[in-house]
Structure 1
Amino acid sequence: MRQVVDVAEFLHCPGLILDVRSPGEFFQGHIPGAQSFPLFSNDERAEVGTCYKRQGQETAIELGLAIVGPKLAGFVTQAKALAPDRRVRLHCWRGGMRSNSMTWLLETAGFQVTLLRGGYKNFRHWVRSTLATPKTLAILGGMTGTGKTEILAALAEQGEQVLDLEDLANHRGSSYGSLGLPAQPTTEQFENHIALVWSQFNHQRPVWIEAESRRIGLCRIPDEIFQQMLQAPVLQILRSRPKRIEILRQVYGSVKPEQLIEATERLRKKLGGLRTQQAVEAIHQGDLTTAIDLVLDYYDKTYTHDLQRRGVPIHSIDIADASPATSATLLMEKTQDWLITSQTTPIATTAT
């Protein structure tokens, strides 16, 4: 007998998740880890939808059956290859005909199927509700090149709760942020990933998040999370400018010069014509140190402006040449006092 369960239980049930919506729907957003298993192609879904609007439900159902009929054996063969244990979780948009039809087919073929009540639409309601759940945040600040990403990873390795937004967005949050990284997800898919991570955090412990602008590349941070970020204390790490340039050289040193130049040209209005031309020429000459130094002034001013607008306690610590692991340990030692102090301190302070 099939199981029909709510989102929280569905996410923890055994079995591969099969998403029977069209490829286009899946691309826009899906449950992380799900496998696209479309009942209809994009064109077929559009054809059935048009038929429904023009000729009614009965005719649309007949058309759908005519389209799907020749595919039935193929669906079973594909499902067996994807889930050899014949145990799957399955959903469509709202738990309607598509998921019920596929469930009937797979159960007939001997599969154990768990259905998501309300389908992907219900999952998206769960996402919004989950993102709105408040947490205690520790915002990790620091100018470009201070190594915040590596420190976040070290914090996670040492057992801290970390939400790495740039990792989930496949972007480092600057004009150069997409270089060397996979394509970004849609904002909807970005939200889905965040919600799954967010739901696993213990609300009694702080969650570390890097200070970010509202957008990371093309991905928009959910308002529910971003508003919490704006109100949380900032734990700002400091490094010397030469050390920051060294770190950025390590990050972007293997990127093709033409890609670096294209990213620099996107900043022309903000950098100014002369500074942009100087940076581009330095890249042509293989002098990344000079190019990075020229661009850093703009990013430093932008970072300082954004930080000052927050109006929250800012606690700074100079980590000099410390490794990510050492920096993480130092931050963990300081965090508890900082978070307690931030509840009663109305203006920025500096801790060393």
Structure 2
Amino acid sequence: MSFSSLSPSEFLEQRTTKVVLDVRSPGEYAKAHILDAINLPLFTDEERALVGTTYTRQGHDIAVELGLQLVGPKLHKFVKKARKLANGSDMIIHCWRGGMRSASMAWLMDTAGFNVATLRGGYKAYRKLCQDWFEMPWRLYVLSGATGSGKTEVLHHLKRLGEQVVDLEGLANHKGSAFGALGQNPQPSTEMFENLLFEELSKLDPHRPIWIEDESVSIGSVFIPNSFFKRMILSPVLLMRVPKEIRVERLVHEYGLFSKEQLLGCIHKIEKRLGGDAVTACVEAIEAGELHIVAELTLHYYDKSYSFSLERRNPTKLHYLNTTTSDMAENAVQLKIEALEVNFEE
């Protein structure tokens, strides 16, 4: 056996020039995986379950024999597919915890003439590395503002200005409200969201501040890692105060492209919180195409909820930017200037 075993940190350094093959089952991969890893499953989901059951009931040796019986006829297909995927590149192979699945596939690829390495500890070690990174003392600027303030657009302008930015809603494929899934791709699992967040953080300088958007612990159906969310709560908040009329216009522009049926579905998600009269008024306004009325009514609910969330913040951490412009590029410039006065040690 001539293939090497890489630590998680070595893996991060070397993966950019190599093909990463995830040999876990399709179901494991679909739930969450390392970004850009390609699934080349040693077992199907059914085969994995069968081997696991055999191990539990009949022991290690019988389970290994069954595994060999299942995998043996597929060896040439693995090599053929790997050759196509690698296209001349070296490869790194991993399974769940760096056990028999990755070792077996690495042996096969090494025998077939590939330059191969495995990830020591497998995907489990990668996940441990993710959790360790979330616990780092990140210096965060939390960009806040009432619904419709244009926070995500401001983040993108800040990135163009050279600031470090992580777009949590972009990673989550959700804008955080009852309307947040409209026009978005399906959400990842929470585990995959964590992997994506780690990948973004790993690109950034931990000694420089990072801008993120103010969020609750959940964004749609995914959850922000607890240690990272605690860091967000303790971080300085830069709060944009944008006039309501600008926010209404922004929401109408952003959501006016969607069908009446889609908008009605979103209203019904929050009907208990809006109240019967407001829901009736929203439904009538949607049917009549009066989206400004819908925006006004829903902002009444979201603004109350936002005010409540601000009351739980440490007031010494709040820094305000009062703006009267809908030019988010200008607001980004002003926020960057305001951030120069922020003291992370407060």
Normalising by structure 2, report the TM-score: 0.96
Within-5 A mapping of 1:145-160: 145-160=148-163
Aligned twin of 1:315: 319
Aligned twin of 2:208: 205
Q: Please tell me the residue identity of whatever aligns with 1:55.
A: Q
Q: Which of 87, 92, 102 is equivalent to 1:89?
A: 92
Aligned twin of 2:335: 331
**Structure 1, residues 277-318: CA drift from partner, whole Å, max 9, x if none?**
111111112221111111111101111111110124211112
Secondary structure of 1:145 counterpart: coil
In structure 2, runs of 5+ residues without a counterpart are: none
Aligned twin of 2:13: 12
Q: Which of 27, 35, 40 is equivalent to 2:43?
A: 40
1:53 aligns with 2:56: yes
Q: Which of 163, 167, 172 is equivalent to 1:164?
A: 167
Q: Which of 206, 218, 225 is equivalent to 2:221?
A: 218
Contact 1:10–1:114 (8 Å) recurs in 2: no
Contact 1:141–1:235 (8 Å) recurs in 2: yes
Contact 1:170–1:178 (8 Å) recurs in 2: yes
Aligned twin of 1:348: none
Secondary structure of 2:165 counterpart: strand
Separation of aligned partners in 2, 1:137 and 1:86: 38
Within-5 A mapping of 1:246-261: 246-261=249-264
Q: CA deviation at 1:86?
A: 3.6
Q: CA deviation at 1:221?
A: 0.7
Separation of aligned partners in 2, 1:201 and 1:224: 18
% identity of equivalent residues: 44
**Structure 1, residues 87-106: CA drift from partner, whole Å, max 9, x if none?**
11110011111001111111
Separation of aligned partners in 1, 2:227 and 2:104: 36
**Structure 1, residues 201-230: CA drift from partner, whole Å, max 9, x if none?**
323211111111111011111111111111
1:139 aligns with 2:142: yes
Secondary structure of 1:156 counterpart: helix
Separation of aligned partners in 2, 1:9 and 1:299: 46
Contact 1:170–1:182 (8 Å) recurs in 2: yes
Aligned twin of 1:3: 4
Secondary structure of 1:26 counterpart: helix
1:273 aligns with 2:276: yes
Q: Please tell me the residue identity of whatever aligns with 1:7.
A: P
Contact 2:141–2:210 (8 Å) recurs in 1: yes
**Structure 1, residues 9-28: CA drift from partner, whole Å, max 9, x if none?**
10221212111001111122
1:297 aligns with 2:300: yes
**Structure 1, residues 254-298: CA drift from partner, whole Å, max 9, x if none?**
222111111101111100011011111111122211111111111
Contact 2:164–2:210 (8 Å) recurs in 1: yes
Separation of aligned partners in 2, 1:225 and 1:159: 23
Aligned twin of 1:125: 128
1:28 aligns with 2:45: no
Aligned twin of 1:189: 192
Contact 1:86–1:110 (8 Å) recurs in 2: no
Cα RMSD after superposing both structures = 1.3
Contact 1:21–1:92 (8 Å) recurs in 2: yes
Q: CA deviation at 1:322?
A: 4.5
Contact 2:321–2:338 (8 Å) recurs in 1: no
Separation of aligned partners in 1, 2:89 and 2:312: 55
Separation of aligned partners in 2, 1:231 and 1:5: 36
Secondary structure of 1:310 counterpart: coil
Separation of aligned partners in 2, 1:68 and 1:277: 60
Normalising by structure 1, report the TM-score: 0.94
Secondary structure of 2:312 counterpart: helix
Separation of aligned partners in 1, 2:79 and 2:256: 49
